């Protein structure tokens, strides 16, 4: 019988060795596979065109922009204060850190010093946000790879912190709690006691997460030696955060260019060795322990009283209770939101170590109340630039691991 269809493998018997059939006419071709834009592991809407040889990835081309909302263009049309809620929608898993990074950039532009208590509050909330980000990452990454249980445990504990955010600022995800020059409001005694209770509750829970994964053969097989990138390449690609530190580069802006209350706290920066997904997982778990340590130190060192907003009336907002009772404060608030403050002409770049990596804002000002140009250095976007490089030669199922290893969020990637 003759097979016309070439896709069917034809087994011919070698006349010299009739007992061992060979595969002389096995035809191979590269397969093009569209993964996404709707795929649960892409954490949003990301499409990747995978060129496959068998089950191996030969080349992968990310197709992005499905969530592009033109945030940088919108920034040029609003005042500096009005842009804060937009930053919530960048990395919508970790809004607080985006607010923080943006406010720091504007404070650098305006050269405002934040009061000491506000610095501590900012650091505490930023580290709480880092814990949330890592919990979210750990749960979803394990879920994507096939370890489902840990997802329920991380999300149970994440819920406690989201409720805490809810009590702090009235929103669980799109928080907008940071303000230029300080924070929106101080902690209440209830928030403080809840946070302290969480700090006692949480470290044993991290041990619990680890138990689920550390001895899970599937988890180990799918993370060890997957998505390896050398330190040199990782730096050359501009990777940052745990993705870079997994390769053994000790680059953390909290240490390199200290800001907020970080210089007053003692903490270590975990650094990996092999540059694979497992090392990045280990770093993120260790960072959760470190965050608990930082929060605890901040709570102990924090001045008991003090302003939470810098007193620069031309730039910073008046306290909310005064806005409702005092005419001057109301005018100040109205002017700041309708016209904005007069920024000096110049340009700055300010990078902040968010839990995904270096989140930076490059602001060009020509004076006036609106930024002339605002560029967001989003770690997810830059990490996607290395996707093709890091995925070559791995199995198709590892593509999911590699998305996860960046901790990718498309809201930030596409902006």
Nearer to other proteins, 112 or 169 (CB): 112
We find the least distance from the C-beta atom of residue 350 to other proteins, in angstroms, to be 9
Structure tokens at 410: 């498309």
Looking at the chain, the number of H-run helices and the number of E-run strands are: 17, 8
Nearer to other proteins, 224 or 375 (CB): 375
Can you give the binding site for other proteins, defined by CB under 8 A? 64-65, 68, 70, 72-74, 76-77, 108-109, 111, 233, 235-239, 249, 251, 256, 346-349, 351, 358, 360, 362, 364, 372-373, 375, 377, 381-382, 384-386, 389, 414-415
C-beta separation of 245 from 271 below 8 A:
yes
Nearer to other proteins, 127 or 358 (CB): 358
Instruction: Determine how many CB atoms are found less than 10 A away from the CB of residue 73.
Output: 11
Write down the least CB distance from residue 352 to other proteins, Å.
Answer: 12
Task: Tell how strand 56-63 and strand 47-53 pair up.
Answer: antiparallel
Q: Which is nearer to other proteins, 92 or 362 (CB)?
A: 362
Residue nearer to other proteins on the CB measure, 184 or 279: 279
Q: For the CB of residue 77, give the shortest distance to other proteins in the complex, in Å.
A: 5
Q: Tell me the closest approach of the beta carbon of residue 342 to other proteins, in angstroms.
A: 16
Residues 92 and 89: their CA atoms lie apart, in Å, by: 5
Minimum Å gap between C-beta 24 and other proteins is 38
Question: With respect to other proteins, which residue has the nearer C-beta, 337 or 372?
Answer: 372
- CA-closest candidate to residue 63, choices 39, 90, 35, 40: 35
Instruction: Quote the least distance from Cβ 348 to other proteins, whole Å.
Output: 5
Compute the CA torsion angle 415, 391, 53, 223 (nearest 10 deg).
-120
Considering beta carbons, is residue 229 or 399 the nearer one to other proteins?
Answer: 229
Length of the chain: 415
Query: Residue 365 in contact with residue 344, Cβ under 8 Å?
Result: yes
The CA-based angle 200-202-205, given to 5 degrees, is: 130
Closest CA to 227 of 380, 401, 60, 384: 401
Q: How many CB atoms lie within 10 A of CB 49?
A: 14
Looking at the Cβ atoms of 158 and 415, the one nearer to other proteins is 415
Specify the residue for token string 């999300």.
155
Pick from 316, 256, 267, 297: which is nearest to 106 by CA? 316
Structure tokens at 108: 């650098």
78, two tokens? 């609003």
| Tokens representing residue 192 in the block | 């403080």
User: What is the dihedral angle through the alpha carbons of 117, 119, 125, 129, rounded to the nearest 10 degrees?
Assistant: -170
**Shortest reach from residue 319's CB to other proteins, in Å:** 28
Instruction: Please check whether residue 412 is in contact with residue 380, taking contact to mean a CB–CB distance below 8 angstroms.
Output: yes
In angstroms, what is the minimal distance from the CB of 384 to other proteins? 7
CB of 223: closest distance to other proteins in angstroms?
24
- Of 65 and 313, the one with the shorter C-beta distance to other proteins is 65
* Spatial distance between the Cα atoms of 65 and 131, rounded to a whole number of angstroms: 28
| Preceding omega of 389 cis (within 30 degrees of 0) | no
Give the nearer residue to other proteins in terms of CB position, either 27 or 73: 73
- Nearest approach in angstroms of CB 362 to other proteins is 5
Q: 265 — phi, psi (to 5°)? A: -105, 150
Cβ of residue 23: shortest distance to other proteins, in angstroms? 36
Cβ distance to other proteins smaller for residue 112 or 121: 112
Cβ atoms of 85 and 56 closer than 8 Å: no
């Amino acid at each position: 019988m003759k097979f016309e269809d070439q896709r069917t493998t034809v087994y011919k018997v070698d006349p010299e060795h009739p007992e061992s059939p060979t595969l002389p006419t096995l035809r191979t071709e590269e397969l093009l596979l569209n993964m996404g834009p709707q795929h649960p592991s892409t954490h949003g809407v990301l499409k990747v065109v995978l060129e496959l040889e068998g089950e191996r990835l030969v080349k992968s081309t990310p197709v992005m922009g499905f969530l592009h909302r033109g945030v940088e263009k919108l920034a040029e049309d609003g005042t500096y204060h009005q842009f804060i809620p937009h930053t919530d929608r960048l990395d919508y898993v970790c809004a607080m850190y985006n607010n923080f990074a943006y406010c720091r950039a504007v404070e650098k532009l305006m050269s405002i010093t934040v009061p000491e208590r506000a610095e501590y509050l900012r650091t505490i909330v930023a580290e709480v946000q880092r814990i949330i980000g890592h919990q979210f990452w750990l749960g979803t990454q394990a879920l994507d790879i096939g370890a489902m249980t840990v997802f329920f445990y991380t999300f149970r504990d994440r819920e406690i912190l989201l409720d805490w955010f809810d009590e702090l600022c009235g929103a669980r995800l799109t928080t907008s709690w940071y303000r230029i020059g300080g924070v929106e409001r101080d902690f209440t005694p209830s928030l403080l006691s809840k946070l302290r209770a969480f700090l006692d509750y949480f470290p044993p829970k991290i041990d619990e997460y680890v138990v689920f994964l550390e001895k899970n053969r599937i988890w180990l097989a799918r993370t060890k030696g997957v998505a390896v990138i050398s330190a040199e390449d990782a730096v050359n690609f501009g990777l940052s955060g745990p993705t870079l530190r997994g390769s053994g580069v000790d680059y953390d802006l909290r240490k390199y260019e200290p800001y907020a209350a970080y210089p007053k706290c003692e903490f270590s920066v975990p650094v990996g060795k092999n540059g694979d997904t497992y090392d990045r997982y280990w770093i993120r778990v260790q960072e959760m322990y470190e965050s608990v340590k930082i929060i605890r130190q901040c709570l102990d060192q924090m001045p008991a009283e003090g302003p939470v907003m810098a007193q620069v009336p031309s730039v910073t907002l008046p306290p909310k209770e005064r806005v409702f009772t005092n005419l001057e404060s109301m005018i100040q608030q109205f002017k700041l939101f309708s016209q904005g403050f007069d920024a000096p002409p110049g340009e700055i770049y300010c990078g902040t170590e968010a839990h995904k990596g270096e989140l930076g804002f490059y602001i060009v000002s020509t004076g006036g109340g609106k930024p002339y140009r605002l560029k967001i250095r989003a770690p997810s976007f830059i990490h996607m630039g290395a996707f093709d490089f890091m995925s070559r030669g791995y199995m198709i199922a590892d593509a999911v691991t590699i998305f996860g290893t960046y901790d990718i969020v498309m809201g930030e990637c596409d902006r």
